[in-house]
Structures are given as C-alpha cells and as structure tokens.
C-alpha cells in the first residue's frame, strides 16, 4: 500500500503573504530607483539634445554673411547686434553672443554688456565647435560655441548661443509622466507575477511555514542518521534524493544523491529489489558482506506520486543464528533417532545376555562397533584433514537418518592442510545439505536415495563435485538458482531457503573459481577453486561472506555452514 502523507493546514496563508509583501516592497524600491535613474539618464539626453540645438543656432549665426563681413573689418557693432538679436528671437535662444578674438562682445541680449570682455577664454581657437553648460548673465543655459570665419576664411571670433535651463527642465517634466506610467505598469506586472509565485510556493511547500520547514529538515536529518535501518528515497524519475549513513554502509553506496540506481549499482537482485522490480515484503538480498531485508513503499500526497522510500535492515546475525539453530535442531533430531536405534541395540544385547547367548552378544557388539569405525576409517583413507573428516562423518549420519546414503567417491583425495580449507568446509556443507534435501524430496530410485561426493586436490586446483538422485534443476534455471532467495521448497523450520547456493556462488566467484550445474534429473554441482590460495581465511573462525562460523567440532557437527 502506498505511503500517503498528510500535512496540517495550520498557519495557512502566512508564508505566501510574507513572500508577496516582501516581493512588493522589492518591486516598489527597484521601480522607484529605476525611475530616478531613468530620469537622470533622460535629463542627460535632453541636455545633449539642447546643447546640439544651441550649437546649431551658433553655427547659423556664424554662417550669416553680414556678421562675417562686419567682424572681418573689426566693427559694425550695430549690424552684428541687429542680426544676432534677430536670430536669437527666431530660434528662441536665451542669447546669441558674437565675440572677437580678444574676447570683446559685439552682441548681447543686454546692450549695456556690448563692448565688455567675457570672463571665459576663447575655446574655438582650435577651429572646432564646443558644447556644454554655461552660467552666464542670463542664467544657466545649454551652450554651443562655433568658430566665426571672415569672408577670406580667416578665424575672426566665435559665436556663443544658449538655450535657457527652464526649457530643458520643461521638456523633462513633459516626458516624466510617460516614464512613470511605464514604471507603474512594470510594477503591476511584477506584483501579479509575485502573487502567482507566492501561490505556487505555497502549493509546493504544502502550506508549511518557514519555521515548520526548518524544523522538519532538522527532525529528518536527526531521524535518518540516528536510526539503525538504512533509508533510501527516490523521486518519481528514480533518482536518489535521500540516503542515510546506514544505507551507505549496507549497500556500499558512495556519492549517490541525484543519480539513478542503475548508475551506481550493477544489475542483480539488489538493484531489482530497490527499484521495485521485485515485489513483496522483507525481500532477502545477499551481498558480499550482509544479508539484507529490503522493503519498498511508494509515496503519494493528495493523489500525486512523489517517488518511493526503501528501508534496508541488516539481518546478517539473525539469519546466521536462525540457520545455526536449525542445524542444531536437525542434529538433535539425528541424535534422538540414534538414541532410539541405540536403545533397540541395547535391548537386543540385553535379550541375548538374558537367554545366555554370551558369544552371540559379544559378536553383535563387535559388529556394531566395527560399522562406525569402518565409516570413519574409510573417510580418513581419502581425506587427511580432521575438520573435513568430522564434517563428512556428521553429514553421513544425518543423511542416513533421513534415508539417504552419502557416498565418498573413490577418486577423492585431500591433504591434511589443503588450500581453501575453510571455504571448502562451507561449500561442501551447503552442497551436501541441498543434495540431501533434493534426494529426500524426489521419488526413491531402485537403488535407493543417494548423494555422491568427490573432493580432489590437484596441483593447480581443488575440485568438489556433488551429485544426487533428486528431481534435478528445472531447465532454464541454471543461472537463477544462484540468486539469493531462489528455492523450489518452502522454508524449513527457522532457516530461510535460497541462501546456501547464493553463498557458495559468491564465495567461489570472489576467489576466482567456477561453479557449474547440470540440468534435468539428478543434479550435479561442480566447483573448482584455483591453487595457490591467495587469500587464506584466518584460523579459528570461518569467515564466509562476512559471517563468522566456529570451526572445530561445532563446525563439523553443523556442517561448517554460515547460514
């Protein structure tokens, strides 16, 4: 069932209102600043325009033939004043002043200033026109100065024209309402966009306030990194959005945030369990170091899919203990059966002694002791290692109690300290356990249920072969049988099926060995491990896929299995 999130509606509207108010303040401030900056920029533009107009008036006056003729002869002040005033009035300029090269005015709106020198130096001596602002007798004006040439082309003075400041400001004030309208429209559009954005943020945050979001983030971080389970979250596109420390440890994930699972994990059962291909609860996944229980749950909010959350639990110790407990129970059942058989034998001996058949009783006791001794001796003839001998004797006894004959092949040979010893104990124990189960689960052949084992130590490899008389491996399943969780039989007791072959497969692959299996009735498993053993297991404990199993008598008794 998908996980559905319900968010409280407390504090509805506060976050969106605060966002909207802040955005409106920002828009208003930026709009006002932009209006002022635009006004200054427009003022500069109008100043430049009026300066060019003033220069055009000055150039018009400098091109007037009467002014040029009069100034070339150094007089004619009346003519210069008359023509200059006519041009000033026609153009609307505040002044048109004609100055000779000595700085003496020959025209001016104030006649009393004619003949007086100007305060500024002559700037057109370079022959170029000049513009700027001028603070003259008529007030501040936009000014343009043009060189004045006589009829012969000789520089005889300059003409300075000005347009009053109030004309420039008047033009600016006439344009400002239009600029203000544009700024108001821009602010209104920005306010509408801010309102829509605030509503979208409100939906995105599910109506939560900023303080609530910050609290949720702190709680989430504390929870994710404090729990003992691994947690991985995915978005609807399958990208990793959340992964805690325990998940990184159990799954071997490095930098996983923002990446898809198929980019960080190889194809296999673990990937299929995490991405939802495998369905069910407590999916068992075997890695190189752990036995994991994986659960995946889709997450929806108000009918909208938000992705999925996967929890990963480490069941390594639990599964190991359960399988060890199951092995102990199996051994207990075998001992109980042996006790029953021993009781029957004691009754026979007691009966023989009761009737006085002392010689027959003696012969019967010697025969019984010889059977057990013969079994151990036949194994020791081919197997030199005491741990392997104890394992095979124990497995033979348990198999016999289940009606299966365990036969050690004549080609078997193993030294006292063979390579891959601890791995061989695990491999042989698991394969024999599966073979006995398969033989018991199938129909009894004419010669009886049987499991044949061959262990051969050669110069370049160690080969283990286990064959049974069971129904065999289904066709087309020779690859899937090595996946953790695959089994044709239900769980037995407390031990979970489908882990033994996966363990053997991983163990063989890790040490560059090979494992093959035949299809059809009577499965034959063949395992080869290269020699020399480049990674020997530590003495005193058997480490198989990260799970310690005691060696010695206990390992021999429970089959040396780690599961």
pLDDT value for 369: 66
Strands 450-457 and 283-286: unpaired
Percent of the chain with pLDDT strictly greater than 90: 4
What is the rounded CA–CA span in Å between residue 247 and residue 313?
9
Whether the predicted pLDDT of 471 surpasses 90: no
The edge-to-edge listing of strands for the beta sheet with 461-468 is 405-408, 450-457, 461-468, 524-530, 514-517
What is the rounded CA–CA span in Å between residue 162 and residue 267?
86
User: Which residue, 149, 95, 141, 104, is CA-closest to 122?
Assistant: 104
pLDDT value for 549: 37
Q: pLDDT tens digits, residue range 484-496?
A: 555 555 555 444 4
pTM surpassing 0.75? no
Confidence of residue 542 (pLDDT cuts 50, 70, 90): very low
Confidence of residue 330 (pLDDT cuts 50, 70, 90): low
Q: pLDDT tens digits, residue range 38-94?
A: 777 777 777 777 788 888 988 898 888 888 888 888 766 688 888 888 988 888 888
CB burial string 6-34: b at 16+ within 10 A, e below? eeeeeeeeebbeebbeebeeebeeebeee
Catalogue all structural domains in the chain, each as residue range(s) with its CATH number. Answer: 15-170 (3.30.450.20), 227-314 (3.30.450.20), 374-488+496-530 (3.30.565.10)
Cis preceding-peptide flag for 532 (omega within 30 of 0): yes
What H or E segment, with its residue span, contains residue 473? none
Instruction: Assess contact for 66 and 157: CB atoms under 8 A.
Output: no
What is the rounded CA–CA span in Å between residue 227 and residue 249?
13
Phi, psi values for residue 476, rounded to 5°: 85, 0
pLDDT value for 8: 46
Q: Which residue has the higher pLDDT, 5 or 99?
A: 99
Number of Cβ within a 10 Å radius of residue 322: 17
Q: pLDDT tens digits, residue range 346-403?
A: 888 888 888 888 888 888 777 776 666 666 777 888 888 888 888 888 888 778 878 8
> In terms of C-beta density within 10 A (0-12 exposed, 13-18 middle, 19 or more buried), how is residue 174 classed?
exposed
Collapse the DSSP code of 104 into the 3-class scheme (helix H, G, I; strand E, B; otherwise coil) and give the result. strand
Q: What's the count of helices (H) and strands (E) in the chain, helices before strands?
A: 14, 17
Q: Position of tokens 């305060």?
A: 119
Which of 277-281, 321-325, 365-369, 557-561 bottoms out in mean pLDDT, i.e. has the lowest?
557-561
Please give the structure tokens belonging to residue 293: 């229980």
């Amino acid at each position: 069932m998908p996980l559905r999130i319900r968010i409280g509606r407390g504090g509805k509207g506060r976050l969106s209102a605060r966002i909207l108010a802040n955005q409106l303040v920002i828009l208003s401030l930026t709009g006002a600043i932009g209006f002022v900056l635009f006004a200054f920029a427009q003022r500069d533009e109008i100043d430049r325009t009026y300066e060019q107009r003033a220069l055009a008036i000055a150039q018009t006056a400098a091109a007037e033939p009467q002014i040029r003729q009069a100034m070339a002869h150094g007089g004619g002040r009346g003519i210069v004043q008359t023509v200059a005033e006519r041009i000033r009035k026609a153009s609307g300029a505040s002044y048109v002043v004609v100055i000779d090269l000595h700085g003496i005015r020959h025209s001016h709106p104030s006649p009393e200033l004619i003949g007086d020198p100007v305060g500024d130096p002559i700037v057109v001596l370079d022959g170029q026109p000049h513009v700027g602002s001028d603070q003259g007798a008529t007030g501040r004006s936009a000014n343009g100065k043009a060189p004045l040439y006589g009829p012969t082309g000789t520089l005889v003075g300059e003409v300075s024209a000005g347009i009053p400041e109030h004309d420039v400001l008047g033009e600016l004030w006439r344009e400002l309402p239009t600029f203000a309208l544009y700024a108001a429209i821009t602010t209104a559009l920005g306010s509408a966009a801010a309102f829509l954005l605030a509503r979208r943020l409100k939906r995105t945050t599910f109506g939560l306030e900023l303080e609530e979001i910050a609290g949720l983030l702190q709680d989430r971080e504390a929870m994710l990194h404090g729990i003992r389970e691994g947690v991985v979250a995915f978005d609807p596109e399958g990208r990793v959005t959340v992964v805690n420390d325990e998940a990184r440890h159990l799954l071997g994930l490095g930098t996983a945030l923002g990446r898809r699972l198929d980019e960080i994990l190889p194809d296999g059962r673990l990937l299929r369990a995490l991405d939802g291909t495998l369905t069910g609860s407590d999916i068992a996944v075997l890695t190189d170091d752990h036995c994991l229980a994986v659960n995946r749950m889709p997450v929806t909010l108000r009918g909208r899919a938000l992705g999925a959350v996967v929890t990963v639990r480490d069941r390594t110790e639990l599964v190991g203990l359960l399988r060890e407990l199951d092995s102990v129970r199996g051994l207990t059942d075998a001992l109980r059966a042996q006790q029953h058989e021993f009781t029957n034998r004691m009754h026979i001996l007691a009966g023989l002694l009761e009737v006085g058949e002392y010689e027959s009783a003696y012969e019967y006791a010697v025969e019984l002791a010889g059977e057990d001794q013969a079994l151990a001796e036949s194994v020791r003839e081919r197997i030199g290692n005491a741990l392997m001998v104890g394992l095979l004797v124990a497995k033979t006894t348990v198999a016999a109690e289940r009606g299966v004959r365990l036969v050690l092949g004549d080609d078997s040979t193993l030294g006292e300290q063979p390579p891959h010893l601890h791995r061989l104990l695990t491999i042989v124990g698991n394969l024999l356990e599966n073979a006995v189960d398969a033989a018991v689960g199938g129909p009894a052949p004419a010669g009886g249920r049987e499991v044949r084992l061959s262990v051969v130590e050669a110069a370049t490899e160690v080969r283990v072969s286990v064959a049974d008389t069971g129904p065999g491996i289904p066709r087309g399943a020779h690859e899937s049988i090595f996946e953790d969780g695959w089994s044709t039989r239900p769980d037995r007791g407390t031990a979970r099926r489908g882990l033994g072959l996966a363990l053997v497969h991983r163990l063989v692959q890790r040490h560059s060995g090979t494992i093959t299996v035949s299809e059809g009735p009577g499965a034959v498993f063949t395992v080869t491990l290269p020699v020399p053993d480049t990674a020997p297991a530590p003495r005193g404990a058997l480490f198989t896929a990260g799970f310690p199993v005691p060696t010695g008598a206990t390992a021999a008794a429970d089959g040396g299995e780690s599961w």
